[in-house]
Amino acid sequence: MLAPGLPASLPLTTSSAMEKAQFDKFRALVYQLSGIHLAENKEALVIARISKRMRALGIGDYGDYYDRVLADRSGAELTLLIDAISTNVTHFFREPRHFDLLAGWVRAWEQQGRKSLRIWCAASSSGEEPYTIAMTVLENLARPAEVDIVASDISTKVLDKARAGIYRRQDIEKIPHELLRRYFQVGGENDELFRVKGVLSKMVSYKQINLSAPPYPVQGDLDVIFCKNVMIYFTQDLRHQIVSEFQRMLRPGGYLVVGMSESLSASKHELRPVEPSVYRKP
């Protein structure tokens, strides 16, 4: 709700530009909280992302909003700031080669007599990727197995959407028809909404995890860690810390999957490349 006496179309006092000193303060705060490195040319992005929160609070000055964030002892506004800044672009079966590989790994593990699998999706966004992982695992298991998929993100907003497991028709366009029929149901009276069935949702547990603050609250000996299209927002030093922790958490023979546009070539690690964007722990 806007503060009394302020118009709904509240103008920002510096709507076209933010003073560099103020922008640097926001950059430092976001990095401290999330590890996200905002380049100097991201001023417009920051203005666009925080302006909605400023209008909701009835604040017309960037400095006043910054002070409000710091003064909120509950941490709620800090969380909303990170929710606004973090980028969440995803869809079902994004970068499909990774799920083809996962299908092969699942079949091979089952042939080896494995009875359980543990997977961490470390940048889950609104749930499309972890549910794609769950579908891929189920479609390639010939016998029942214990499958534990942990999905995490720093944004509480996208985690709430992921837990709800409700998607619009345009969100599910990349899901093959047979899988859609098997794992989704029409969401109530609205045939434009689709809800994840329990067979998938019970496989995935969601946690808020800040990748910039290892060690992580996820049990080790993981078979696969998916961490796709997020490390590009971190500094090289932080990437090195994250990869080192991932390496520790993987079981011998486990896999780390990053985004197709990402590489670990600049990080020190002992993981062996399987193919571009996929690495295996010896």
Structurally, the chain folds into a number of domains equal to 2
Q: Is 10 contained in some domain? A: no
Marked catalytic residue, from 49, 94, 118, 239: 49
Tell me the pLDDT tens digit for each residue of 107-127: 999 999 999 999 999 999 999
Residues 137, 191, single domain; the answer is yes
Marked catalytic residue, from 55, 83, 94, 153: 153
Q: Which residues are paired to 206 by β-bridges? A: 151
Residues 131, 243, single domain; the answer is yes
Task: Give yes or no for residue 28 having a pLDDT over 80.
Answer: yes
Assign 41 a pLDDT band (cuts: 50, 70, 90): confident
Residues 78, 103, single domain; the answer is no
Residues 43, 129, single domain; the answer is no
Q: Is 153 labeled as catalytic in the residue annotation? A: yes
Residues 103, 218, single domain; the answer is yes
Q: What is the pTM of this model?
A: 0.81
Residues 238, 271, single domain; the answer is yes
Q: Is 133 contained in some domain? A: yes
CATH number at residue 41: 1.10.155.10
**Structural domain of residue 69, as residue ranges?**
20-85
Write down which residue in 61, 85, 109 finishes a domain: 85
Write down which residue in 32, 56, 85 finishes a domain: 85
Q: How many CB atoms lie within 10 A of CB 37?
A: 16
Longest dimension (CA), the chain: 69
State the average pLDDT over residues 239-265: 94
Tell me the pLDDT tens digit for each residue of 50-97: 888 899 889 989 999 999 989 888 778 888 888 888 766 789 999 999
Q: Is 114 labeled as catalytic in the residue annotation? A: no
Q: Is 12 contained in some domain? A: no
Q: Is 6 contained in some domain? A: no
